[in-house]
Amino acid sequence: MSEPLVARRGGPLAGEIRAPGDKSMSHRALLFGALAIGETTIDGLLRSEDVVATADALRAMGVPVTEHAEQWRVVGRGIGGLRRPDTPLDFGNSGTAVRLMMGVLAGQNFQAKLIGDASLSKRPMERVLNPLRDMGLQVDGSESNAKGTLPLTITGPGDLVPIRYVLPVPSAQVKSAVLLAGLHAAGETSVVEPIPTRDHTERMLRAFGAQVKTTDSSEGTVITVIGQPTLQGLHINVPGDPSSTAFLIAAALIIPESKLTVTNVLMNDTRTGFLTTVTEMGAQIEIMNRREEGGEDVADLIVVSSPLKGVSVPDDRAPSMIDEYPVLAVVAAFADGPTHMAGLEELRVKECDRLDMTAKGLRACGVTADETESTLTVHGCGPDGTVNGGAEVETELDHRIAMSFLIMGLAAEQPITVDDGTMIATSFPGFNNLMNDLGADIRATGDCTA
């Protein structure tokens, strides 16, 4: 059942908040813990629907995964030690969970059926399946069509062949799936990245004890994993998610007189594109208390509402902020002059066609937006203009579209409604309450008075 939400303009945002745990690292902490020997404990794990889907899938394959208070515990079964599931593995809306799990399942000697919700079942899986087939994975084919979408039945051979794979498009998920499969293959498996993507898999695998080498070549960065290691369980403290933090930063920047402190934010260089871009636009953001936790750079941010100017965002920055473009487009609507964003073709194969849905939402709210196959130009309304708002924005069950336009509604002249907010819990559970605690006004439409 859908839950329309409305956001309306109010007073400034103020307060201090700890960023929600990073979703990418939360998935990986659970998966790598399952492949290790011994116990892995995890603090700060994001308890979103996407991450819970990973935990449930591991439980279905015989991995003890428990939660006590705010700490999670995984008792690993070792490389190749998972058990055949008795029922299909349901990944809900999580593309990260299912794609990374394909790499793990490629190294198991059993068959498994993978399913997801209506949105996930439309998303492409061939980019992951192609290299895994080269390693020996058997794919029975989609039971819905021939395009490599869910549902899928896959069979691991139990004896994978190592490969050297050049990524045709930047994708941390494809890279990670191949490296995870490579853990189960004798010898060296390498992935070549012409354009760097987020490197959490490499960092965390090293922490668990895997041999992972990174070298430069004429083709790009080469990441090589040595197969059949013995991973050791460890303790992981998951830092705050930069993609979730982007919504908090955006709201503080565009709502006048706001000032927020966001603590424990992941500052990995492959994830800071949004922060770099809004700083170029004139954002007042102070980076405090830089430190290293669990092999990752972490810091606290103080964000103050700021006059912003339009900028041109280069296409090679896209991998470091691909999930943040919808909310960047919202920020750009309040800037002075146009903001041009390039290299956005990946947005067309997310939970929905995010590029198209972002452009449509902007136009519905009175903002001029020009869209091509891989670019978006937003013509900002500042400093003397205003964003009208006053629209109901379609989300197509995309959590980032929903949150982005709710943020816009907090600064627009008229309230903005999104047609459904239930899917926000897939990545940012408690979003509405958290924002309201800081001074926002986001509520179900049934709770609003005329």
Alpha helical stretches, state H, 366-415: 399-409
Annotation says 447 is catalytic? no
Distance CA 148, CA 216 (A): 32
Q: 147: which 2 tokens?
A: 């395009």
Please answer whether residues 279 and 327 qualify as being in contact, where contact means their C-beta atoms are separated by less than 8 angstroms: no
Separation CA 279–CA 275 (nearest Å): 6
Strands 212-217, 220-226: pairing kind: antiparallel
Helices 23-35, 172-182: crossing angle, 10 deg rounding: 10
CB neighbourhood size of 188 (10 A): 15
Angle between helices 172-182 and 126-135 (to 10 degrees): 20
Q: Are 399 and 392 in contact (CB under 8 A)?
A: no
Q: What share of residues in the chain are helix, strand, coil (percent, to 5)?
A: 35, 30, 40
Active-site residue (options: 50, 323, 398, 420): 323
CA 110 to CA 118: how far, in whole Å? Answer: 26
Q: Residue type at 173?
A: Q
Closest CA to 278 of 329, 219, 233, 203: 329
DSSP state of 61: T
40 neighbors 51 (Cβ within 8 angstroms): no
Integer Cα distance of 102 and 115 in angstroms = 12
Instruction: Please identify every residue annotated as catalytic.
Output: 323
